[in-house]
Amino acid sequence: MKTVFKNLRYIDVKEERVIEDGLIIIEDGRIEYAGDAEKGQGADGEIIDLEGMTLLPGLVDGHIHSLFDASSDPFGSLAEDSASLITIKAVSFMEETVRNGIVAVRDMGGLDYLEFGLKESIDNGLIAGPEMQLAGKLITMTGGHGHFIGREVDSPAEARKAAREQLKAGVDFIKIMATGGVMTEGVEPGAPQLTEEEMAAAIAEAHKAGRKTASHAKGTDGIENAIRAGIDSIEHGVFLDDEAIELMLENEVYLVPTLAAVHCIVEEGVEAGIPEFAVKKSEAVMESHIRSFQMAREAGVKIAMGTDAGTPLNIHGNNLYEIELMVEYGMEPLEAIRAATVTGAEMLELDDKLGTLESGKAAHFVVIDGKPDQDIRDIYNVKQVYKDGRQVR
C-alpha cells in the first residue's frame, strides 16, 4: 500500500534548495516520488498531512562508538561492566540514536566484537537502530591511543596481519590510529604513532578486499602520513595545515571533524567527573580543532558529519549537536545538513539508497517541526522518523 505525505516543506539536499509545497510517496519501504506537490497529485493511498513541517533525508553519523556509554569515563565503564551490561546499554543507545533521525552510522571501534551482535539484531529487526558499519578492533601501535580496545602492532607485517584479522571477523572498514588522542592517558594528541609504512600495509589489505579505511588523526604529521598511505577518511583532523589540506583535496579524502567530542569534554570539565588529563588535552586542542575545520571547509574538502558519540558526556541521541556546531563555526544550515546526508552517505558508499529523497531509494526520512534550513536549532524538533517506510518515532 502506498502512503502519501503531503503539505510539507521538502529539503532537496542534493541541490541545496527547499520546495515549500512538497509531496512524498512511499511504497514497500521505498520512495516512489519526492518533490513538488503539483507534479505528484492524484496518487492513491493513505494520506498523511504534515501540516507544513519540514522533511529531510535520514541522517548519517560517520563516527560513533556504540558500546561507549558517554559517561564521564567511558573507558572506565568498559573495563568495569560485564559484557552483557555493555551490550544492553548499547541497545538503548542505538534505539535513541535512530529515534533522533540518525539512520546510518559508522562504529569506529568497539570491544571484543560485541557490537557485531548489535548490528545483527538491528538488521534482523529484533531491535530498533540505525544501519551500522563496523570497524571491529582499531589498529594501533603498542601502547598507542585506544590500545585497551584495539589490536596493537609494531611493524608493517603485524599491521597487515591485524587488518586481515579484522576482515576475517567481517568488518565493513578498517580503522587505523595515526596519532595520539585525548582519551588515552600518557599519549600526546598531536604526536604521530603508526608509521606511514605500517598504515600503508593495513590499508592495502583493506582495499584489496574492497573495504574503505579511516584514520584517527589529530597531529599534522600523522594526518599527512595517513593520507600518503592511502587512507579514505581523516577523523578529527585537529591540526591541519595547507599541505595536509592540499593532500586531502588531491586524494579526495573525507574529513569527519567530530567537533562535539572536544566541546562536550571542555564544557563539562573535571567537575562532571571527566579525567583531568582528558580535559587538559581537550582544552589545549579545541582552538586548533575549530580553525582546522574552518580551513578545510573554505578549501573545499569533503566534510561528513560525525559526532564521536559515546565519548565523555557526548550522548547517544544528541548527535544533532554536531550539526549545530558545524553551523556555529561557519557552515550554512543547508551545507551542514548536506554533510549529514549526501556526503555521509557517499563516504559510507550507501548513496545508492541513502542521503537523498529520490525515487527508488529507501524511505528513510525525518520530519521536523520548524525550518532548520533557516534556523539550524530547529533540527532538534524531531517529530517523526521513518526507516524503510516504518515509523520509529
Contact present, 163 and 205 (Cβ < 8 Å): yes
Neighbouring C-beta atoms of residue 224, cutoff 10 Å = 22
Q: Does the pLDDT of residue 42 top 70, yes or no?
A: no
- How far, in Å, CA of 67 to CA of 309, rounded? 10
213 and 304 inside one domain? yes
140 and 6 inside one domain? no
The mean pLDDT value of the chain amounts to 96
43 and 131 inside one domain? no
Indicate the pLDDT class of residue 391, thresholds 50, 70 and 90: very high
53 and 195 inside one domain? no
pLDDT tens across 162-212, in order? 999 999 999 999 999 999 999 888 889 889 999 999 999 999 999 999 999
Strand partners, 141: 153
- The whole domain housing 248 covers 59-347
- When pLDDT is averaged across residues 250-257 and rounded to a whole number, the result is 98
- When pLDDT is averaged across residues 323-334 and rounded to a whole number, the result is 98
Number of C-alpha atoms within 13 angstroms, CB side, residue 334?
13
Q: Does the pLDDT of residue 389 top 80, yes or no?
A: yes
Neighbouring C-beta atoms of residue 261, cutoff 10 Å = 27
Question: For position 384, which CATH number holds?
Answer: 2.30.40.10
97 and 186 inside one domain? yes
pLDDT tens across 208-243, in order? 999 999 999 999 999 999 999 999 999 999 999 999
Indicate the pLDDT class of residue 360, thresholds 50, 70 and 90: very high
Q: Does the pLDDT of residue 127 top 70, yes or no?
A: yes
Helix (H, G, I), strand (E, B) or coil at 291: helix
96 and 38 inside one domain? no
Q: State the amino acid at position 260 in one-letter form.
A: A
pLDDT tens across 81-126, in order? 999 999 999 999 999 999 999 999 999 999 999 999 999 999 999 9
196 and 50 inside one domain? no
User: Could you give the C-alpha distances from 199 to 176, 206, 215, 272, 289, in angstroms and in order?
Assistant: 7, 11, 9, 36, 23
Question: For position 69, which CATH number holds?
Answer: 3.20.20.140
The structure's pTM equals: 0.96
Angle between helices 83-99 and 114-123 (to 10 degrees): 40
Q: How many domains does the chain have?
A: 2
252 and 340 inside one domain? yes
185 and 91 inside one domain? yes
Q: Does the pLDDT of residue 40 top 80, yes or no?
A: no
Quote the pLDDT of residue 38: 80
48 and 66 inside one domain? no
176 and 189 inside one domain? yes
156 and 17 inside one domain? no
